Amino acid sequence: MYFRTEAIILKKRNFSESDRLLTIFTRDFGKLTVLAKGVRRPRSRKAGHLELGNWCKVFIAKGKNIDILTEVELKKAFGIADFREDKANKIYHLLEIIENLTVDHQKNLQAFILLVKFLKKVETDKNFNLLSSVFKIKLLASLGFFSSQSLKNSKAKQIFNILEKTDFEYLEDKIKLSKDSHLKLLLFLDSMIENITSSKLKTARFL
């Protein structure tokens, strides 16, 4: 049995002498672990398409113990391979958030579209504090972990409601937070994520 879908590469680790195990977040099947055979060989044509953060079309064969990635077509590389450390770290941070909060084999189209949208914005947007805050709030809401309507503090409720409901393109005109307030917001969100997952984030909280 075979299936095709779109995927973002979340994590990769070496397996045997020439293979890699990939954690991918897919459009149609949620988070999966697949085996990419032979991609560590020097002449592998797949290797360059399977960098962290890349958005790909993938063709997967169902295996007895683990699914096998048989074909890959790159849709968009989001810049990790260009060695710009600042941008790469920001992308790693979004990938880690998705990996930690999502469940294997549980489809969430809204979360997938959100990840693709915000990976694109990392390339062009200079206000990563705002981008990161909005991504986390919208992701937590889409996964059912958060709702601004549950907050009791009226001022906080108003701010979180705007961040949760408003398209990112219009937020900078609506939200005016000091640097200190923004760092407190990020600290609150990352602490919430760590409490939900019972694990510490490995990527930098403030980038």
Phi, psi of 61 (to 5 degrees): -100, 130
pLDDT band at 81 (very low <50, low <70, confident <90, very high): low
* pTM, entire model: 0.90
pLDDT tens profile 87-120: 788 889 999 999 999 999 999 999 999 999 999 9
Q: If you average pLDDT over residues 37-56, what whole number do you get?
A: 87
Domains of the chain: 2-76 (2.40.50.140), 82-197 (1.20.1440)
Distance separating alpha carbons of residues 143 and 140, to the nearest angstrom: 5
Phi, psi of 5 (to 5 degrees): -160, 175
Distance separating alpha carbons of residues 100 and 195, to the nearest angstrom: 11
Instruction: Tell me what pLDDT residue 205 has.
Output: 59
Instruction: Tell me what pLDDT residue 156 has.
Output: 75
Distance separating alpha carbons of residues 156 and 174, to the nearest angstrom: 14
pLDDT tens profile 181-201: 888 888 989 999 999 999 999
- Sign of dihedral through CA atoms 147, 117, 100, 127? negative
Q: Is residue 50 scored above 70 in pLDDT?
A: yes
Instruction: Tell me what pLDDT residue 82 has.
Output: 53
Helices (H), 34-153: 85-101, 109-124, 128-142
